[in-house]
Amino acid sequence: MYVNAGGWLCFCMVIALAVSVSGKPSTFFEDFKVTWADSHITQLEGGRAIQLLLDQNSGCGFASKSKYLFGRVSMKIKLVPGDSAGTVTAFYLNSDTDSLRDELDFEFLGNRTGQPYTVQTNIYAHGKGDREQRVNLWFDPAADFHTYTILWNHRHIVFYVDEVPIRVYKNNEARNIPYPKFQPMGIFSTLWEADDWATRGGLEKIDWSKAPFKAYYRDFDIEGCAVPGPSNCATDPKNWWEGNAYQALNALEARRYRWVRLNHMIYDYCTDKSRYPVTPPECVFGI
């Protein structure tokens, strides 16, 4: 039993995955494809749920068949349980371009049994990344499914965990700070080995005797402007995610955001003077 930022208790039911584009339920392979190691991705519940597997032979990954330009994407994930040190489960948006990549990352860093799971977020805009923040989750994300969401509109990008904002990146283009808004991005997820950095900076190595490592997914929800699609979709102010209610955090979200940053943030690139003797400009103007 865990208490979240609002003080309420969270009990989550394990049910099947349902892929939803604009509210239309479908099976996994209608909207997603395996990108590597299809032998390590298993459909469950008639394709409404999936399992990702990592062993000494391979990790695995999948991606959306379409790209999107602005909107909201969420998925429910149950992470690798037990001793997951050295593993990374990732959920991210990526423009899939080499030179000027845009990318919005959730990376869940495995742990030794009993230690908190860490979620790392990162943002690439116009090819520039290195904007990592890390938060220790306030619940056990391997015990049940939890919802992870990225909201992306013209005003800001918000990363949510169970409706609790943990990261905000504002559009500060007026101050010559890059913001991802020109390139559509696909939706990706992977389970892979990264024991050179993932757990305590690489001090904790993966224990292959605990393999195979498994993560589960369900309830994909994609609401955005698919590309190719209507040319005016991405600039349409009538899109719900561009509405007034989504231009800034509301009062409850702002309180929860402050709570996360005060109690659970363990790393912020904005305050890392060894990497950035001069504070990055987006940190000066507020993120």
pLDDT (tens digit per residue) in 28-55: 888 899 999 999 999 998 888 899 999 9
Q: What torsion, rounded to 10 degrees, do the Cα atoms 20, 154, 33, 198 define?
A: -110
Q: What is the mean pLDDT of the chain?
A: 90
Structure confidence at residue 20 as a pLDDT band (50, 70, 90): very low
| pTM of structure | 0.90
Residues labelled as active-site residues: 103, 107
**How many beta carbons lie within 10 A of that of residue 34, not counting itself?**
17
56-65 average pLDDT score: 97
CATH 2.60.120.200 fits domain 19-284: yes
Inter-residue contact 188 to 31 (CB < 8 Å): no
pLDDT at 140: 96
Beta bridge partners of 147: 76
pLDDT (tens digit per residue) in 241-251: 999 999 999 99
Cα separation, 224 vs 66, in Å, equals 11
pLDDT at 113: 86
In the chain, where are the structural domains located? Answer: 19-284
- H or E stretch at 86: none
pLDDT at 287: 59
pLDDT (tens digit per residue) in 116-137: 999 999 999 999 999 999 999 9
pLDDT (tens digit per residue) in 135-153: 999 999 999 999 999 999 9
Structure confidence at residue 26 as a pLDDT band (50, 70, 90): low
pLDDT at 19: 38
Please tell me whether the peptide bond between 277 and the residue prior to it is cis, using omega within 30 degrees of 0: no
pLDDT at 8: 36
181-206 average pLDDT score: 93
Window from 5-19, 49-63, 156-170, 262-276 with minimum mean pLDDT: 5-19
pLDDT at residue 236 greater than cutoff 90:
yes
pLDDT at 6: 41
**How many beta carbons lie within 10 A of that of residue 22, not counting itself?**
10
Helices then strands, counting H and E runs in the chain, come out as: 3, 16
Report DSSP state, residue 24. E
Amino acid identity of residue 265, one-letter, is M
The region that residue 162 occupies, defined by phi over 0 for left and psi between -120 and 50 for alpha, beta otherwise, is: left
pLDDT at 2: 37
User: What's the chain's length in residues?
Assistant: 287
User: Which alpha helices (H) appear in the chain, and where do they start and end?
Assistant: 28-31, 251-263, 281-284
pLDDT top residue among 198 and 72? 72
Structure confidence at residue 16 as a pLDDT band (50, 70, 90): very low
| Backbone CA torsion sign across 52, 57, 59, 62 | negative
Cα separation, 25 vs 23, in Å, equals 6
